[in-house]
Amino acid sequence: MALYSEKVMDHFRNPRNVGVIEDADGVGEVGNPVCGDIMKIYLKIADDTITDVKFETFGCGSAIASSSMATELIKGKPLSEALTLTNKAVTEALDGLPAHKLHCSVLAEEAIKKAVKDYYDKNGIAYDAGLFSEEEHCPHCAE
């Protein structure tokens, strides 16, 4: 069995939504230079819907694939739906990740949540603080 699925390899070799949105409505950055994976997600939002999303990721192929897939899963979706995206959903959409690379999907989930929180904070939109934990959940980044 191959270490990486065809979907992981496709999103690594041909990542979707790479880049920067200069006038982004929300930006979320997560990661740790010690573990080597850093993700930054940019959101453009209109009428409570993600109209555009871009990412910059410094990291391994799994980190790039997770970022790419996560952006595909939230593009065109309402913010409420984007906030329900889990690392498990990203991993499943990629047809799996090796156990030692699951932290990459966790980073993608956290970057999206931070970008939405940034948008809410910038616009004075009330939210349930429980949706946004300030602690890192990535086991590699928490070290």
Residues 6+ apart with CB under 8 A from 62: 4, 8, 12, 97, 98, 101, 104, 105
Phi, psi dihedral angles at 53 (to 5 degrees)? -150, 135
Active-site residue (options: 60, 104, 138, 141) = 104
Residue 129 to residue 70: CA distance in whole angstroms:
22
Sheet holding 37-46, edge to edge: 26-32, 37-46, 49-58
Look at the block and give the residue holding tokens 């990459």.
104
CB 112 within 8 Å of CB 106? no
Active-site residue (options: 35, 60, 138, 141) = 35
Q: Is 35 a catalytic residue?
A: yes
Question: Looking at the annotation, which residues are catalytic?
Answer: 35, 104
